[in-house]
Amino acid sequence: MRITLLRIRQNNDFTLGVECQRYLACILRLRPVFIRAARVLPSMPPLFQSVSSALGLGVLPFHVRPFTTMSTISLQRRITAEFLGTTFLVATVIGSGIMAESLAGGNVALALLANTLATGAILVALIFTFGGISGAHFNPAVTVADALEHGMPWHEVPAYITAQCSGGLTGAAVAHLMFGLPLFSLSRHARSGGAQVFSEFVATFGLLAVIWGCSRVRANSVPFAVGAYITAAYWFTLSTSFANPAVTIARAVSDTFAGIRPVDVPLFVAAQMCGAIAATVLIRWLIPSLPETAEDILLPHESNNQMKTYLFACVHNAGRSQMAAALFNLYADRSGCLAISAGTDPADHVHPQVVQVMHEIGVDLSSAKPQLLTHDLAKTASVLVTMGCGEACPFVPNLRTLDWSLPDPKGQSLEAVRAIRDEIHDRVKGLIRSGCAECCKAAIV
């Protein structure tokens, strides 16, 4: 069952100022009413604005939007969604190519335009349709990138890719049946040469860059962004932007407008996978504030990955939270639990005293980079541990939150910072014993 909750945002920053607190207090008193109303009303902001007017508060200085929390979806259902989505995607690519070629009267540009528009449109529709179930990858390159960023466990990757490739082949058969063609026929459409292969690298690199960039700013914009990018990439790449190994394989068994010779497939697939990995690595470096784990690459969805994420948060993410996350990860079994850290006003680097005292116990924080604490990052956590960020910390309904009162190590002597480190160490071990002992057995002894 989907439970509609509310989150409050001010100018894309979930830090509520003192002025907003007066409004927040009034709204929280009415929260049960709003939650019930959210089940039947398609849009929450007008409701809040009318309530604020009735209360004499004027226009609220922040936006409210609904989001959903879904129960865990089984792997079988998720791979079924991937199979169906890829089936419809390939059926559209091949089917629209057949239709366009038959109606364009030999005008290749017009046929390509029709094929382009159909593909871009179906991508938007399919991502919205299946995104909440499986994440709407429909693409082995996207699945591998998601696993690289810990968005899904690696043991689920083969199932996803198998579903995508089999869905692609099914989509090709469906398109052929609709147009009265043989079920499968090897394509004779040559797509060879270095320029074509490089085009696939560029096309897939750009696709993953768009996905990663948009999913971390506004996830609901990703379907439109992906559809728009593929529509454009059809025209600025020589290969017409396959950018998908499963679709590439399926198009090899279609001797139609959209086909590709089987002999050309391996280099296309290799270029696509390289482009996806390169984009993922570059975007991680380019946007260091991205969360360490990326659970929702296209649209928010659930998996069977039972990873527990502990988020340690302070103001500058340059001392207390960095030490806590590093100490937690010393004991953590990364297959079961993980610690990350962030700050409401991140510094440029970790405090030198903190780097030195952690180096004394064999932990290197010299290359650690403070990152911004956002509401989206807090949503990925199983437990949020705050250390002095106070009201600036985001509020996430149903998220277990702890507050550790610890002095800020900034500007303090090495002896004082060592004492802070040791206290954090004791608290981290206590936290592990109480909530994560099964995946951090070393901390129990």
Over residues 287-308, the mean pLDDT reads 56
pLDDT above 80 (res 394): no
CB-count exposure of residue 51 (10 Å: 0-12, 13-18, 19+): middle
Which of the listed residues 239, 256, 286 is the one where a domain comes to its end? 286
pLDDT in tens, 50-92: 433 433 433 333 333 332 333 357 899 999 999 999 999 999 9
pLDDT above 70 (res 257): yes
How much is the pLDDT for 54?
39
Question: How many domains does the chain fold into?
Answer: 3
pLDDT in tens, 145-166: 988 888 788 999 999 999 999 9
212 vs 204, more confident? 204
Largest separation between any pair of C-alpha atoms in the chain: 82
What is the Cα–Cα distance from 87 to 165, expressed in whole angstroms?
9
CB-count exposure of residue 69 (10 Å: 0-12, 13-18, 19+): middle
Residues 110 and 44 in one domain: no
**CATH number of residue 375's parent domain:** 3.40.50.2300
Which of the listed residues 69, 94, 112 is the one where a domain comes to its end? 69
How much is the pLDDT for 433?
82
Of the pLDDT bands very low, low, confident and very high (cuts 50, 70, 90), residue 432 is confident
Stated pTM of the model: 0.56
Determine, yes or no, domain membership for 291.
no
Say which DSSP state 295 is in.
Answer: S
How much is the pLDDT for 38?
41
Residues 200 and 226 in one domain: yes
Q: Work out the angle between the directed axes of helices 157-178 and 140-148 (0-180°, nearest 10).
A: 160
At 172, list the tokens: 């090709």
Residues 210 and 332 in one domain: no
Residues 426 and 346 in one domain: yes
What is the Cα–Cα distance from 263 to 189, expressed in whole angstroms?
10
The residue range of the domain holding 16 is 3-69
DSSP secondary structure, 373-406, as one string: --HHHHHT-SEEEESS-GGGSPP-TT-EEEE---
Determine, yes or no, domain membership for 293.
no
417 vs 47, more confident? 417
Determine, yes or no, domain membership for 17.
yes
pLDDT above 70 (res 382): yes
Determine, yes or no, domain membership for 297.
no
* Burial per residue of 160-194, b for 16 or more beta-carbon CB atoms within 10 angstroms, e otherwise: bbebbbbbbbbbbbbbbeeeebeeeeebeeebeee
pLDDT above 90 (res 401): no
Instruction: Give me the residues paired with residue 310 across strands.
Output: 339, 383
pLDDT in tens, 317-366: 999 999 999 999 888 766 678 889 999 889 999 999 999 999 999 889 98
16 vs 435, more confident? 435
**Pairing label, strands 400-403, 383-386:** parallel
Determine what percent of the chain is predicted with pLDDT higher than 70.
Answer: 75
Of the pLDDT bands very low, low, confident and very high (cuts 50, 70, 90), residue 286 is confident
pLDDT above 90 (res 255): yes
How much is the pLDDT for 70?
32
pLDDT above 70 (res 275): yes
Over residues 170-183, the mean pLDDT reads 97
Residues 200 and 247 in one domain: yes
Residues 245 and 318 in one domain: no
Residues 351 and 266 in one domain: no
Q: Of 305, 345, 302, 311, whose CA–CA distance to 81 is shortest? A: 302
Residues 331 and 269 in one domain: no
How much is the pLDDT for 391?
73
What is the Cα–Cα distance from 347 to 372, expressed in whole angstroms?
9
What is the Cα–Cα distance from 245 to 224, expressed in whole angstroms?
21
How much is the pLDDT for 46?
41
80 vs 377, more confident? 80
Determine, yes or no, domain membership for 301.
no
Specify whether the CB–CB gap between 387 and 321 falls below 8 A: yes
How high is the mean pLDDT of the chain?
80
DSSP secondary structure, 40-62, as one string: T-S-HHHHHHHHHHHTT--S-SS
Over residues 402-406, the mean pLDDT reads 90
How much is the pLDDT for 297?
57
Q: What are phi and psi of 10, to 5 degrees?
A: -125, 110
Beta-carbon contacts of 190 under 8 Å, excluding residues fewer than 6 positions away, are 261, 264
Over residues 433-442, the mean pLDDT reads 64
Over residues 255-281, the mean pLDDT reads 96
How much is the pLDDT for 296?
53
pLDDT above 60 (res 428): yes
Which of the listed residues 253, 286, 319 is the one where a domain comes to its end? 286
How much is the pLDDT for 321?
94
How much is the pLDDT for 417?
95
What is the total residue count of the chain?
445
**Pairing label, strands 337-343, 3-9:** unpaired
Determine, yes or no, domain membership for 64.
yes
CA distances from 52 to 27, 96, 420 (A): 9, 50, 45
What is the Cα–Cα distance from 127 to 133, expressed in whole angstroms?
10
Residues 163 and 81 in one domain: yes
Lowest mean pLDDT among 285-299, 316-330, 416-430: 285-299
Over residues 91-97, the mean pLDDT reads 97
Residues 187 and 323 in one domain: no
Determine, yes or no, domain membership for 292.
no
411 vs 5, more confident? 411
CA angle 54, 59, 65 (to 5 degrees): 100
What is the Cα–Cα distance from 90 to 439, expressed in whole angstroms?
42
**CATH number of residue 96's parent domain:** 1.20.1080.10
What is the Cα–Cα distance from 254 to 264, expressed in whole angstroms?
14
Residues 83 and 210 in one domain: yes
Determine, yes or no, domain membership for 413.
yes
How much is the pLDDT for 306?
60
Residues 201 and 316 in one domain: no
